[in-house]
Each structure stands twice: as C-alpha cells, then as structure tokens.
Structure 1
Amino acid sequence: HRYDNRGPGFQLLWDETQKLGAKFTATVTYAMEASGSYHHNLLVFLLGKTDRVWSFNPLLLRKERLGQLRKTKTDALDAQMIAEFARKDGREHPFSTVDPEQMRLRELCRVRFRLVRKASKAKQQLRRNLDILCPGLGPEFKDVASPSAMAVLKDVAQVTSLFQATVEDLEKLLKPFYQNPDRRHLKAVALQKHFEERVENGGLEEPLVFEVRFLLHQLELYEEQVRQVEGKIEREMERRKSLLTTVPGISLVTAAIVEGELGDPHRFPDERAVRAFAGLDPSVRQSGKFEGDRVRISKRGSPRLREGLYNAALPAMRVNPACREFYERLRAGGKHHKSALTAVAGKLLVQCWAVMRSGKSFEIPEKYRVAATTEKETTTFPSAPPSLEKGDASRPSSTSQESPQGPSREPKVVRK
C-alpha cells in the first residue's frame, strides 16, 4: 500500500495496521528507514500513539540489501527488507524516542551551521572574483570578510572608479582597524601597490564588480543572521543551565551542538560508541600480515557534531592544561597538527558525554591544576601553535569560542 506523507495518510496507516493487529491478536511494531528529513513527521506521529517504533540507520539497511543476491530494488522489496531486518535484528536496537526540547535545540544549531556554510561559500566566491580583478589583493587580507577588508572593498569596488583609492584614502579607511600608524601606512601602501599592478581582464570588470558588491551585502546579512541565531542558542542554554559549560573552553554554542546532536547520553554504552556516533572513531584496515600505514577517522555519524568539536579543540588548549598536555604528547610522538587536534576533539567528546551521563560538573584533575599553577608562576601560558594563527584554514568559520579535552583516563566530575 502507498500512504500520503501527510496527516490523513498517517492516520490511515495507523487505522489499517491496528485493524491487522486486532485481527491476528498481535502487537503492531513499526519500522522505517531514517531517510533524511522525509521520515521525521511520520516518526513523530507514530511516537505520539505508541512506543514500539524503530528508525533504522540507512547504512545498516544498505548492508542488509547488499547481502541479497538479487539486484532488483523496488519500494515493495525495500519494505519487505526493512520488516525482515526488524524481525531478525530489531532486538539489538532500542526503540526510537523523540525529545521535543532536544530536537528544537538541534535544529537551531543546524540553522546556524547552514548559515555559516553559506557565508563560507560567499567568501570563496569573493576571493575568486578578487583574484581576477586584482591579483594579490585577496591574499593581502587573511580573511576577505574581516571588518577591515569589507570597509576597503566597499569603497574601492566601484564600476566607475575601480581600485582608484590613494594611500591617504586607504589610511583613512583602515584607521578604525589599525591603531598603529606605521602598520596602517604599510598596509595602505601594500594595497595601493596591488591596485597599480593589476592587469586587464578582457571585459570582466563590470559583472565581477557587481557580484563583489552583492557578495559583500550577503556576507553582512549572514553575519547578522548568525549573530541572531547564536543569541537565541545562548539564551536557550542559559535557561537549561547546561553543565557542559563547566568544561573549560566549552562555549554555550558548542555545548548546544553537543547536547542537540548527542541527545540522550545513556543510549551509548561506552566511549567507543559515542566516538563512533560522531565519526571520530579510527577506521583501521588490517588483514593477515598487512597493516595499513595510515589510520583515519571513520567520518560516519553527525558531521555537525564532529565539526563543532574540532573547532572547539584549539580554543580548549588555551584554557585547559589537560588538553594542551594531550596535544603536546601526540605532537611529540610524531602526529601531524591536525591529527592531534582531531584526537583532542575525540577526547573532548568523551568528557562532555561523561558530564551529561553523570549529571555532575566537570573538574580538571588535580595534577593538571597543580601543574598549571606552577607554570603560571614561572612563565606565561603559551598561545596557539604558529600553524593556526589567524587566517589558517582549520580555524572555525564562526565566531563562537570552544572547548577542552584532557587526559586519557576517565574525567573527574563533582556535584554542583
């Protein structure tokens, strides 16, 4: 049977399946594939009437489908395969649940994620246009959407007077962003030199300048929208009194990403399961005497959770000595900077999961607190590694601050 993916269709499905259950004196259990957002409304509808509902990961069902010899694929065969999978393996999976508060928080964070992605694409297009209009101008700004870059581009990207600003004009534009007059003058001279050295581009100026101005407006709009969404997220997290913010380096936005994407922490039996959910578990290839020389993360699971934790790893190292010690130990062992940051992100996830599962505040282990106090008496706490200075590609694209990670042992927690 086919049912309309709306309210009347859902009700018809419910009525007919309940009649079948009564006819055979059986309890009806519902199973479906978690197909993006398409299944969501049906899942919520059924969970409002019964708790016997499964929503299976599409990867599990795909493996079940590949295990069959026939290559035919139809809706009827898919429905039969899902029912058979539920009958054989359903007991290994808990029934699905819906927490409206958690789903609302998750969707707020995903709205922010989509806005940040759109802004990132606009930046890429802006840099591409600048590379054609004035080669060298884009790299002159580490971030083409920075306030100083936006101020300059708004003034000089004019169809009638393209890149005609003098050094004095540029210094006036840069004055709010460069307090040091010498640095301001050097930047203005460098920009003016790029203006003078640009070449003809075969009549592309007018359309590209139009698009540059459109992109500048888009970036301003995206920045304002991200600010509004983050404000809403922060107010929501303050209302929830989230304990994740007790982890040094975890901001309200990062805490919201973790809580929204992770959901109920008790559905994960151990830290390996929670790492796998975020796609931060190792993907190992080994057979007989063969062992792969590179171990990558699986990148399965929630990409939003993985990205949020990765962006949190660097800021966490600045405020959490346990994170920094773990990172430095990996680097000393020969790990690449980004590999070490990814490992820190995985440890951060475990710490957050432990706090959520225990319902207790996070506390840095005593040995790290003592070490941090001693180090502060002798030297200043180091800043970020040189490879991640402002403008590095691995920095987070949003403005939120982020999170800490610690030693390999279980993190300490104390009651609030």
Structure 2
Amino acid sequence: MVTGIDCSKDYFDISVLKNHKVVFEGRFNNGLTGFKALLVHVLGSHITMEATGPYYFQLARFLYENGQKVSVVNPLVVKRFSQMQLSRTKTDKKDALMIARFTAMTNPKEWAPPSEEILSIRNLETYIEGLKHRKGMLYNQLHAFQAAATLSEELQEEIKMELGSYERRILDKEKQIEALINKTYGELSQNLRSIPGIGPRSVSLLIILTDGFKMFESYKKVISYFGLAPRIYQSGTSVSGKNHICKMGMGPIRKVLYMAATSAIRYNDACRELYGRLRGKGKPHKVALIAAVNKLIKQAFAIAKTGTVYQVQIS
C-alpha cells in the first residue's frame, strides 16, 4: 500500500493505493487534528510527500515519530514523472494521486528529520538571509536619496545607524552558526576547511544542507540536490542547444560555491587542472567553473565519508 500527500498551508490531500487501485482519498487540516485523523488511513503504508517549503515538515515528522515509512521528494522529480505519464490535470487531488503512483513505481528513499542542531542552524541561516535582504533594501533606499540630493543629514545618519545595526546582527548570527557547527560537526568542519578554495561560509552551507553529508550516498546526488547537474538539450541530430545546469536545488549554496570555485581554480590543483583542460577545449568560462564546483563537491563528499583531510591529487 502506498500513499501520496499533497501539502499546502492550511490543508493536505491524500490518495491511498493498494495494488495500483485507489482505496481512499481525502482532505485533512494541516495541523495536529488533521495529522491524527489521517493516521488511521495510512497505517503500514509507504507515504510520500513533496518538499514544499515549510508546509510538509510537521506532518512528515509526525508520521515518522509514529513509526510510519515516510519519503520526502523534490517536487521537480514528481513533475517530471507526471510529464512522463502525460498527465495534464493540475489539482491537489490529482497531485496526491500522482505522488502515490510515483511512490509505487520508484519506492523513494525513506526520510528522517534532521537533527535539532541542524534545524537550529537552518533557522539562523534563513533569518540571516532575511536580514541581508532588508539591509539591501535600506542601502538601495539610501543610495536613491543621495543620488537625488534630497536627503537631510539627520535622516542620513539615522539610516546609516540602522544599516550598522543590520551588520552587527548578521555578524552575531553568523558567529552563533559557527559555534553550533564547531560544537556538533567540529572535526568535519576542520576537514572540509582543508580543501583549497573552501571557506567558512561554504563549509557551513555544505554541512547544514546535507546534514553533515548523511542525507546522500553519492556525490552525484549532492550535485543534483544543489541544482548543479548538467542538462543537455539534444534530440537526434536536428535539435541541439547549449548545456545548462538543472536548477532544482538552492540558489544561495550555488552562489557560495561559485565563489569557492573561483578561488579553487587558482589554489586547488585538481580544480585548476580541470578548469584549464575544459577552457583549452573551448568550453565557456561558466561551464568550466561549474565543473570546478562539482569537483569541489566530490572532494568534500569524499572527505566527509572518509573522515580524512584534503590530499593533493590532480585528476
């Protein structure tokens, strides 16, 4: 028996299949009362839901803590499965059914909630991103006032004080993250820092987004998760386009890793050799840089799994 769940902010739809036939469909409140009402219908089932923002997490954790087999999958994976099934209907009820069919055909990996430390760090990271966004908006406002020469000295000082406050709060939260990582993943953090090109920010994001690399069995899955897997548009000999990366991962980690790779192609032997070889073959800078990013991920994955530090090796 398999169950597909489509979550939204206020409710979730479920579809239960047994021997590929629908045996139950329903809609429940996305809260504790709905969770408890759901449980009787899905006992012993393999339950799958999409990682839709924050709306799935409490339900996934509730089911996990009640001993159920739970999987949480990337929405894009289910979307592609739906396209392969030639499905054109888009409703919450149909989405739940499609997720159930996806579960029956692919048997996705079981999910377990991240540690409390990882959840705390992720919350701090999200808060920092909000602070940076608000600081950026305020800085742009200050720049516009200055360009128009309409800003009083009094208001300018007040805005600068507020910008300073944002900077101090961001620095304070970054120190909290560093302390939490050192406490929980101290050895892993130091080992990852031994990779030329990898800095504190890269280490932080790599650890919290992979739960210390425990979420993945191969570096290729990490690459796909971050949205850095190459995707080639080609059909026979008649259709051919540029290579792209499949952006099904997260923007912030990609930006940080691009910066790390820019440093790595100068100081990391393997990344420098790979980047130079691809550029020598006429590949664009961005293509070669993404290859260097993926090389860094491969190195980080190997170090995390073996518990060793970086070893100089050209490959």
Maintained 8 Å contact 2:50/2:56: yes
Task: Give 2:304's aligned residue.
Answer: 356
TM superposition score normalised by structure 2: 0.77
Query: Are 1:252 and 2:200 matched, yes or no?
Result: yes
The offset of 1:42, in angstroms, is: 0.8
Pair 1:33-2:27 in alignment: no
Partner SS, residue 2 of structure 1? strand
State the structure with more CA Rg: 1
**Secondary structure of the structure 2 residue equivalent to 1:53:** strand
Alignment of 1:66-77 (within 5 A): 66=83, 71-77=88-94
Q: Pick the aligned partner of 2:257 from 309, 326, 350.
A: 309
Alpha-carbon separation, structure 2, partners of 1:319 and 1:237 = 25
Identity %: 29
Q: Structure 1's 66 and 54: CA in aligned 2 closer, same or farther, altered over 3 A?
A: same
Pairing partner for 2:223 from 272, 275, 294: 275
* Distance in 2, Cα, partners of 1:343 & 1:159: 49
Which of these residues, 17, 23, 29, is aligned with residue 4 of structure 1?
A: 29
Give per-residue Cα distances to partners, 1:41-83, cap 9 Å, x unaligned: 1111111122501222211222344456675443333322222
Aligned counterpart in structure 2 of residue 229 of structure 1, from 173, 196, 207: 173
For 2:120, what is the secondary structure of its paired residue? helix
Name stretches of at least 5 consecutive residues in structure 1 with no aligned partner.
Answer: 22-26, 135-156, 161-209, 366-406, 410-416
In structure 2, distance between residues paired with 1:132 and 1:334? 46
Which stretch shows the higher mean deviation, 282-291 or 325-334? Answer: 325-334
Match of 1:158 among 141, 148, 152: 152
Q: Which residue of 2 aligns with 1:97?
A: 112
1:298 aligned residue? 246
* Larger RCO (CA under 8 A, 6+ residues apart): 1
Q: Which residue of 1 aligns with 2:289?
A: 341
How far off is 1:96 after superposition?
1.0
Cα distance in 2 for residues equivalent to 1:82 and 1:340: 36
1:46 aligns with 2:63: yes
Distance 1:223 1:159, change over 3 A: closer
Aligned pair partner of 1:58 in 75, 82, 97:
75
Q: Is the 8 A contact 1:10 1:45 kept in 2?
A: yes
Q: Does the CA contact (< 8 Å) of 1:331 and 1:337 recur in 2?
A: yes
Distance in 1, Cα, partners of 2:267 & 2:223: 23
**Alpha carbons of 1:85 and 1:226: their partners in 2 closer, same or farther (altered >3 Å)?**
same
Letter in 2 for 1:233: I
Match of 1:238 in 2: 182
Q: Aligned partners of 1:67, 1:249: CA distance in 2, in Å?
A: 40
- Whole-angstrom distance in 2 between the partners of 1:215 and 1:331: 46
Flag the structure with higher strand content. Answer: 2
- For the structure 1 residues 314 and 53, does the alpha-carbon distance in structure 2 shift closer, same or farther, using more than 3 Å as the test? same
CA distance in 1, matches of 2:100, 2:298: 34
Residue aligned with 2:28, SS: coil
Quote the Cα distance in structure 2 between the aligned partners of 1:337 and 1:116.
Answer: 29
Change in CA separation of 1:124 and 1:344 when aligned onto 2, cut-off 3 Å: farther
Query: Does structure 2 retain, via aligned residues, the 8 Å contact 1:112–1:226?
Result: yes
> After superposition, where does 1:106-255 map in structure 2 within 5 Å?
106-133=122-149, 157-158=151-152, 210=155, 215-239=159-183, 240-241=185-186, 242=188, 243-255=191-203
User: Using a 3 Å threshold, how does the CA distance of structure 1 residues 64 and 285 change in structure 2: closer, same or farther?
Assistant: closer
- Over 3 Å counting, the alpha-carbon distance change for 1:238 and 1:347 in structure 2 is same
8 A Cα contact 1:237 1:256, kept in partner: yes
User: Equivalents in 2 of 1:69, 1:276: separation in Å?
Assistant: 24
Structure 1 length as normaliser, TM-score? 0.60
Q: For the residues of structure 2 that align with 1:231 and 1:336, how far apart are their CA atoms?
A: 37
Change (3 A) 1:344 1:224: same
Q: Secondary structure at the match of 2:310?
A: strand
Take 1:68 and 1:344, find their aligned partners in 2: how far apart are those partners? 36
Alpha-carbon contact 1:109-1:256 (below 8 Å) kept: no
Cα distance, 1:82–1:130 mapped onto 2, change above 3 Å: same
| Alpha-carbon separation, structure 2, partners of 1:72 and 1:299 | 24
User: C-alpha separation between the residues in 1 aligned to 2:146 and 2:288?
Assistant: 34
Superposed displacement of residue 339, structure 1: 4.4
Q: How does 1:382-397 map to 2 (within 5 A)?
A: none
The match for 1:201 is: none
Of 46-55 and 57-66, deviating more is 57-66
2:213 paired residue number: 265
